[in-house]
Amino acid sequence: MIMSVARLDTLTELVTLGIGRSAEVLNLILNEHIELSAPIISILDVGELPEILKADEDRLSAVSMRYAGSMDGVTELIFRSKEAGKLVDCITGEENRTEEGLDALRAGTLCEVGNVVINSLMGAISNELDFHLTYTVPTYLEGGVDVLVAEAKLAEARAVLLAKTVFNVATLRIEGEIAVFMSLASLHYLEKALDLYLAR
């Protein structure tokens, strides 16, 4: 999917703003200082996601929040499960555990991190572009990329705004992805909102 450079630059600005705010909030609640960045963003067809994530053999952990209102879709913060475990153990100061997947408590912690990041990101986009969204509470997903895509398809999403995100916590560097899944109608709404923002 192609989006104009001006729109994509504006979106990058808004994503950076949201990520910056989420880092501020995370630093208030976590034991460790955390730095976040989202250097690369792109707009894709949902069908391209498995290839982009290249996670055929890796188990993925994701925090998912549905949104509705001016736009409809799902936002997910996605990590490889091993990386998610490392991130959770690092920010809670617990000994790194080696087991595959996250137990309910560790998944809950990841949910809260995802909640902060998604709230800040979606808040920044909707506030700046001046539209309103409502959200469901965050849920934890674990499995292959098909599990994440299935969740998006439930929301009839066809396009995805993908932001590669880097968490720097203590000596750890953990890469994740923020995927804002949306319907084609929502993508058109977003493009119009970006045009209005650019015209201000």
Which residues of the shown chain bind other proteins in the complex (CB under 8 A)? 24-25, 28-30, 65, 91-92, 97, 99, 103-106, 108-109, 111-112, 115-116, 118-120, 122-123, 126-127, 132-138
Q: What one-letter code names the amino acid at 93? A: G
In the complex, minimum distance from the CB of residue 39 to other proteins, in angstroms, rounded to a whole number: 25
Would you say 53 or 181 has its CB closer to other proteins? 181
Residues 6+ apart with CB under 8 A from 83: 174, 175, 176
Would you say 5 or 137 has its CB closer to other proteins? 137
In the complex, minimum distance from the CB of residue 115 to other proteins, in angstroms, rounded to a whole number: 4
In the complex, minimum distance from the CB of residue 32 to other proteins, in angstroms, rounded to a whole number: 11
- What are the structure tokens assigned to 196, written together? 């209005």
In the complex, minimum distance from the CB of residue 156 to other proteins, in angstroms, rounded to a whole number: 22
Cα gap 14→38, rounded to integer Å = 11
Three-state SS string over 101-151 comes to CCCHHHHHHHHHHHHHHHHHHHHHHHHHHCCCEEECCCEEEEECHHHHHHH
Residues 6+ apart with CB under 8 A from 58: 80, 81, 82
Would you say 18 or 149 has its CB closer to other proteins? 18
In the complex, minimum distance from the CB of residue 99 to other proteins, in angstroms, rounded to a whole number: 7
Would you say 30 or 187 has its CB closer to other proteins? 30
DSSP string, 158-183: -EEEEEEEEEEETTEEEEEEEEEEE-
In the complex, minimum distance from the CB of residue 121 to other proteins, in angstroms, rounded to a whole number: 10
Residues 6+ apart with CB under 8 A from 2: 43
Would you say 46 or 129 has its CB closer to other proteins? 129
Would you say 53 or 111 has its CB closer to other proteins? 111
